[in-house]
Amino acid sequence: MHATASKAVQATCDHAPLPSSAQAADPTRSTAATPPHANADARQGLADTRIDRGIAALYDILAAALLRTPDAPITAAVYQAAELLGRPFPHEGGEAPGESGEEKPIERESLGRHARRPEPSAPPADQPTDLTWLEQRFYDRFLVPTTGVFIPLTEGCVTGAETAGAHGRIAWGPREGRLTAHVRTLYDQAGFQPASLTHSLAPSAMRDDFLGCELAFLAFLRHPGASEGTARGDQDARDRFAHAFLRRHGAWFDRAADLMEAQDDDFYARVVRLAALVARADLQLLDERITPPTP
């Protein structure tokens, strides 16, 4: 536990610690004596698991797109995810025509479509990607402050950002503060190690509250059972933890997308917008699934 984390903020997620390993019967297993409503519950449980796997896969894909310089598999996975969610990206890897900030919510069924999709190895034929351009844009977006499209894509910087002056110059929030400390505390509580992530970012950019890192954390929490023996209680606790994290730390995703789109509606702006939409849909799902504890 980090002493720098505010006790008031820390309490936000204290009700959802990850439990130690526990053993429980598989709630989806039925027998001849199982009443009809139990079978219905089992079918719903399987549907929920498929959606959860799809959500975890989406978080993983979007995290990789923000953490690593682009290659064919990464961009192909992003294109496929956008297609399956009904939010296809425009052609090419350059400037994107049209509006990307639509508020139409993602349909819940589409969240599960990626659960069993084969991993793509190249972008679809009708959506070629200029990887040279896209790699330069990765550097321009996240590593070179003088490019005009640079954004320190961390929660503290974006949440505290203020626009000032006649030219709309952005004064970014603090790189290290209460929000960053709280995120770090939650990683420690959950056993998540951001240092183990594969990334192409400089140390100054790879902060614990970098969006790609937070998405990787959500994927870690939302993956439904790393093994068949995962106890239902363990997964419920992970869901509660993810729910608390999204409620406390998910709101800035949309703000980040707004700032990026104002600079240029490009591939990375659309990745961040897609992340915001997935997180919003996931929070709604978890809102319905989880009953907050009575004070």
pLDDT class for 96, splitting at 50, 70, 90?
A: very low
**pLDDT tens-digit series, residues 258-285:** 999 999 999 999 999 999 999 999 999 9
Question: Highest mean pLDDT: which of 4-13, 30-39, 74-83?
Answer: 74-83
Q: Taking a C-beta distance cutoff of 8 angstroms, is the pair 72, 131 a contact? A: yes
Q: Taking a C-beta distance cutoff of 8 angstroms, is the pair 115, 50 a contact? A: yes
Give the whole-angstrom CA distance, residue 6 versus residue 186: 12
Pull the structure tokens for residue 74: 């990464």
How far CA 182 is from CA of 92, 196, 243, in Å, comes to 38, 19, 15
Give percent of the chain with pLDDT exceeding 90: 43
Output the pLDDT for position 167.
60
pLDDT class for 75, splitting at 50, 70, 90?
A: very high
The SS3 of residue 113 is coil
Q: HSE (CB half, 13 Å, CA atoms) of 131? A: 12
pLDDT at 127 over 60: no
pLDDT class for 98, splitting at 50, 70, 90?
A: very low
Output the pLDDT for position 128.
53
Burial class from Cβ neighbours inside 10 Å (0-12, 13-18, 19+) for residue 262 reads middle
Question: Highest mean pLDDT: which of 26-40, 104-118, 159-173?
Answer: 159-173
Which residue would you say has higher pLDDT here, 191 or 176? 191
A 10 A CB-CB count for 129 gives 24
**pLDDT tens-digit series, residues 184-232:** 999 999 999 998 899 999 887 889 999 999 999 999 999 876 444 445 5
pLDDT at 88 over 60: yes
Give the whole-angstrom CA distance, residue 261 versus residue 91: 17
pLDDT class for 7, splitting at 50, 70, 90?
A: very low
Output the pLDDT for position 155.
94
